[in-house]
Amino acid sequence: MPRPDKLKLFSHAGTVQDLAVAMLCDLKEPVMSVQNAASWGYFDTTTQSWNTQILESAGFPVHLLPRVVKPGTLAGGLAESWYGIPAGTPVGAALGDLQCSVYTTLQPNVAVLNVSTSAQLAFIATPDFQPEQVAGYMLWPSSHCGTDVSTVEYFPYFNDRYLAVAASLNGGNALATFVKTLQQWTHELGFNLPQAKVWERVLALAEGKSANSSLQVIPTLLGERHAPEQNATVTNIDPGNLGLGQVFRALCSGVIHNLHSMMPREILLDNNIERIVGIGSALTRNKVLQQEVEHWYQLPVQFVAGEDAAVGAAMSVLDV
């Protein structure tokens, strides 16, 4: 560790969420859920304990690590009344954002596709699923996915279940970058065009049948966790597929195709997934993106607006 002397100033560690819970409940030490502990690494989700031997051998001050509890566990009670909420109101341990985002819509035999800034496709693994541990790392067993295991991750969910997740760094942000670039180009040409108008026009142009083309876009502007050096590319360009609607359609198709390459339809079928529920503002407001989901996954899809991680967090605690 580069500056261990700095850590002598602290007695506990936790996420910002854990700090908020500790302050609300006036806790003497933070409490962390399994979901957040797993996000830190060096945490064994099967035993639900820190890899203290590995950390101690590296000189890490393990006494800083917080106590870990199962998702849905109450951390304490509200120490004082807060914005009309009475003192003593139970407060749950902080939870993972993704787990809470999909909680209200995720059911057996259903996968949830969330496209907002980034994009995630997730489903609940079978009750008997346990991750494999190889050289200190937890991996998705190859027999369960049939693709590069590095593109499919698992996260602790609720009730000792796991969430199988393909998490792309490129979702609505790729579309927004394209629209912002178009707006900048029009400005450089001497015109002022509101971004809302650019969105309205590209969506309208891309919805028509004439927008279908052989143009191919790989929209990985930010790379991916399993391929951080990967850049975005456009291929198969010809004079007949450079229309604005065709380019935006190909970009929307590329966003979903990229996610499909990480978690193909075959994985969903192998895990008895019968339909997909689509959430997230970038997806529910974009009919072109919705059509591409149906095209690539060939499964019944329902698009639902208004689902929120805060609602999922509240419901998960009430359901315990």
Q: Return per-residue pLDDT of the chain as tens, 320 residues.
A: 456 678 888 899 999 999 999 999 999 999 999 999 999 999 999 899 999 999 999 988 999 999 999 999 999 999 999 999 999 999 999 999 999 989 988 888 999 999 999 999 999 998 888 876 433 334 444 334 444 447 998 899 999 999 999 999 999 999 999 999 999 999 999 999 999 999 999 999 999 889 999 999 999 999 999 999 999 999 999 999 999 999 999 999 999 999 999 999 999 999 999 999 999 999 999 999 999 999 999 999 999 986 678 888 888 888 76
Angstrom distance (rounded) from CA 282 to CA 126? 29
Measured CA to CA, the distance from residue 168 to residue 164 in angstroms comes to 13
Using alpha carbons, select from 149, 140, 151, 117 the residue that is nearest to residue 255. 117
* Contact yes or no for 99/157 (Cβ under 8 A): yes
Residue with tokens 């991916």: 224
Cα distance between residue 309 and residue 300, in whole Å = 24
Residue 272's nearest CA partner among 135, 172, 127 is 127
Provide the H-helix boundaries in the chain. 4-7, 16-25, 34-40, 52-57, 97-103, 142-145, 172-188, 195-207, 244-262, 265-270, 281-284, 287-297, 309-319
Q: Is there a contact between 118 and 258 (Cβ–Cβ < 8 Å)?
A: no
Q: Are strands 162-168 and 119-124 parallel, antiparallel or unpaired?
A: antiparallel
CB atoms within 10 A of CB 86: 10
132-134 and 119-124 as β-strands: parallel, antiparallel, unpaired? unpaired
Distance between CA atoms of residues 276 and 316, nearest Å? 21
The residue type found at 24 is L
CA distance readout (Å), 107 to 104, 124, 226, 290: 9, 8, 28, 20
Residue 165's closest CA among 134, 140, 192, 190?
A: 140
Grouping H, G, I as helix, E, B as strand and the rest as coil, residue 278 is strand
Find out whether 154 and 162 touch, Cβ atoms under 8 Å.
yes
Domains and CATH numbers, the chain: 4-92 (3.30.420.40), 97-312 (3.30.420.40)
pTM of the model: 0.84
